[in-house]
Structure 1
């Protein structure tokens, strides 16, 4: 009897251990997610660094259309932020004027090893895909996004936008709150491709792409000054046709050393919290900050109204100085068929026009080429006008001739004087072009014009 009890006890212990191991494993981040995580190089002159998510929430107030929510709300944090989903179009409005450049908007610099202390500015979300694929999204958060100024507009478009505060160096396209990301696709635990978010779109690379720099299994990412767009190469990077992002090897940042980790479940669109790589087999995570994922609103102010004295716009293009803040990771198309998002943005008419202009400028508009193009266009317009006029003339004459022919078929009589006049005109028109023959033919042309005017009636205005 005792032997049976001992055996049963051991079985219970073994089952408990197996259950604990399974449960612990389900809360752990796979090794390859940290092993191949991006290394981000922040720009050496970027004044707006990665920012702690909780600090950002604590320095904002939820508003709708610029007005406070009437209901009494508890102090917001990363565990209850989604209660704001009970309202529509919520914005986390800054408690400070962004022009005052408060310390919390400037973020926190990493140390020499790339670790950011006392702040968590990164969110890693794992998404399972078919065929043993796992998409690991590495989201980077900044409390302020500084848009470009006149020095970041390609020549010669800077001449067009130059003027007012823009000409004085004002930045446009700024917004409070900024979510950027990389996505690495893993197949059987090995990386096969990576996505770099860049403003409204981005760039995708296969893992072996020569443009991609991988050091010790980790891809290099260059974060652009102010905008924080991600690039595979340093230096000047062109985006949106005519704007420049500056990247360099400034401050090294290892995002996964200070990150929250989650797993996304496509079937019910939920996330579960995972333990960071340095806390494996520690059971359920100590926190449950899934609320930051579920929050539907924007992570900054609404676009300032034109009546706000802080708002301004770029002449001729209408770009605003301050824009809406962004929505969070939930709205970054984390379920993807390819490495790039399923829905790519379409070019605006401004981007299309600017692209056509920038393409034509070097070979058709720059310097003396502009005058040649101008003359060519004038000649082309003239010839086009002549062609249209000739076509209209022939069309009207054909229509008139057809009408006269139909009248003849219906029994209309032609006077003998018309035949005699036409015979005289024909002989004069077919005469020589010299001497009196030439004079006669000119006269015939005048008579023809007069005849056309009499016969054509309202259509005579088409003929000079």
Structure 2
């Protein structure tokens, strides 16, 4: 059967277009993620007892509604990853609020469990953002998304602070610091395609390590990341990890997760702050959808902190810790532009953190167990010595002032006596001279 010439032209044109699109990413390096970004990408060990797994970003958005000041925003279109930044028209206080009550633990909040190979199916819970510093240096940020963050409970507070944290909720094992939505990340700095160091985000802080640091374990040159149970904070080693002076994150080799196996890839222009959706390694063509809008969203990825009047909210006495906190901001707020591995601006500790840090510094050596009595005795002896020394010094100063005043008085009296003596001696001498003159005249 003969084909119409016009149809032949259409088919040929279509094939050329497909071929051109397939080769576009290979021809333009800026539209393709370099292979080394995934060759050295982190592998995440999720805690064996963590119920909150990596979550599909779009599914999370679809199970929330935007609110401002606790009220729904009217006339908002159906939101997805390609239009989420329309909410920026209402300012940066918009919160993606869960449609369901988080305390009922709806199914979507638990995310997707990776398979034995570490892959998450039917979900995209990771974002890779490339920041080129110059022709040789590149920072690759690996962002991990979870729909729920579970904070610590009383079993994760170090002594002696665990004896101070009280209240019926704390004693029943209630977790505090929970929030809907959770963004965590690692950053690997590359120089000419070779990794130089890695940064681990940990709650409000984090820590950077050189690539050769023995604390950073690897498999086939891919660094392991140990995710804290519930909190998803990232650490280079398993076990009990201390954060915020006196809280514990539990990490172990539960379930392996390969984030870059299902991720969105982007380039970030440091000059214009613009994002470009690029093809991942191994992909032959650039993405068909832009999907940068959700990264530009400058609001919160979870509910606002509930007021005390809300029955879901509980407060820990003394410290003011709350069961529910406000959800996090997005990836573009995580200091993408930095000089070193760690953010340039250091966070200022609150007075509660500072006080807890001082207590925890003294506690192991001077306050724990019998040591507190020895320390108290030494402190009393030292304080007594200081008081006695001050009293002795004050008494010496007073005596010195008293002697000084007495010395000045005696000096004036002596001076008067000396003047009187001089006058008397002068009179005597004058009388003696007169007497001598008289005797001479008489003779």
TM-score, structure 2 length as denominator? 0.83
Q: What is aligned with 2:370? A: 368
Q: What is aligned with 1:73? A: 76
State which drifts further: 361-370 or 219-228.
Answer: 361-370
> Once the 2 structures are TM-superposed, how far is the Cα of residue 350 of structure 1 from its aligned partner?
2.2
User: Structure 1 CA distance, aligned partners of 2:333 and 2:408?
Assistant: 70
- Pairing 1:157–2:146 present: no
Structure showing greater Rg: 2
SS of the counterpart of 1:279? coil
Q: What is aligned with 1:276? A: 280
Q: What is aligned with 2:315? A: 313
> Once the 2 structures are TM-superposed, how far is the Cα of residue 391 of structure 1 from its aligned partner?
4.6
> Once the 2 structures are TM-superposed, how far is the Cα of residue 34 of structure 1 from its aligned partner?
1.3
Q: What is aligned with 1:83? A: 86
> Once the 2 structures are TM-superposed, how far is the Cα of residue 145 of structure 1 from its aligned partner?
0.5
SS of the counterpart of 1:277? coil
Q: What is aligned with 1:341? A: 343
Shift of the 387–23 alpha-carbon distance from structure 1 to 2, 3 Å rule, reads: same
Q: Deviations over 1:316-341 (max 9, x none)?
A: 22222111111010000011111111
SS of the counterpart of 2:339? coil
Q: What is aligned with 2:235? A: 231
Q: Deviations over 1:337-383 (max 9, x none)?
A: 11111112233322222222222222211222211222222333333
State which drifts further: 323-332 or 89-98.
Answer: 89-98
- Pairing 1:257–2:269 present: no
User: Structure 1 CA distance, aligned partners of 2:63 and 2:118?
Assistant: 26
User: Structure 2 CA distance, aligned partners of 1:74 and 1:228?
Assistant: 32
Counterpart pick for 2:62 among 58, 61, 67: 58
User: Structure 1 CA distance, aligned partners of 2:164 and 2:103?
Assistant: 26
CA contact (8 A) 2:25 2:32 kept: no
User: Structure 2 CA distance, aligned partners of 1:28 and 1:179?
Assistant: 24
Q: What is aligned with 1:124? A: 128
Shift of the 96–404 alpha-carbon distance from structure 1 to 2, 3 Å rule, reads: farther
User: Structure 2 CA distance, aligned partners of 1:303 and 1:21?
Assistant: 44
User: Structure 1 CA distance, aligned partners of 2:197 and 2:150?
Assistant: 29
Shift of the 110–400 alpha-carbon distance from structure 1 to 2, 3 Å rule, reads: same
User: Structure 2 CA distance, aligned partners of 1:53 and 1:199?
Assistant: 20
Q: What is aligned with 1:357? A: 359
Q: What is aligned with 1:447? A: none
Shift of the 95–400 alpha-carbon distance from structure 1 to 2, 3 Å rule, reads: farther
Shift of the 220–401 alpha-carbon distance from structure 1 to 2, 3 Å rule, reads: same
> Once the 2 structures are TM-superposed, how far is the Cα of residue 90 of structure 1 from its aligned partner?
0.9
User: Structure 1 CA distance, aligned partners of 2:324 and 2:171?
Assistant: 17
Q: What is aligned with 1:247? A: 251
Counterpart pick for 1:323 among 315, 322, 325: 325
SS of the counterpart of 2:352? helix
Q: Deviations over 1:149-197 (max 9, x none)?
A: 1111112221121332111101011111110001111111111111111
State which drifts further: 333-342 or 369-378.
Answer: 369-378
Shift of the 374–110 alpha-carbon distance from structure 1 to 2, 3 Å rule, reads: same
Structure 2 spans left out of the alignment, 5+ residues: 1-15, 414-443
Counterpart pick for 1:95 among 92, 96, 99: 99
> Once the 2 structures are TM-superposed, how far is the Cα of residue 242 of structure 1 from its aligned partner?
1.4
Shift of the 146–392 alpha-carbon distance from structure 1 to 2, 3 Å rule, reads: same
- Pairing 1:198–2:193 present: no
> Once the 2 structures are TM-superposed, how far is the Cα of residue 125 of structure 1 from its aligned partner?
0.3
SS of the counterpart of 1:350? helix
Shift of the 386–265 alpha-carbon distance from structure 1 to 2, 3 Å rule, reads: same
Give me the CA root mean square deviation. Answer: 2.6
CA contact (8 A) 1:27 1:285 kept: no
CA contact (8 A) 2:267 2:277 kept: yes
- Pairing 1:113–2:117 present: yes
Shift of the 368–255 alpha-carbon distance from structure 1 to 2, 3 Å rule, reads: same
Q: How many residues are treated as equivalent by the alignment?
A: 396
User: Structure 2 CA distance, aligned partners of 1:31 and 1:273?
Assistant: 16
User: Structure 2 CA distance, aligned partners of 1:304 and 1:32?
Assistant: 44
Q: What is aligned with 1:382? A: 384
Structure 1 spans left out of the alignment, 5+ residues: 1-12, 412-464
TM-score, structure 1 length as denominator? 0.79
> Once the 2 structures are TM-superposed, how far is the Cα of residue 105 of structure 1 from its aligned partner?
0.9
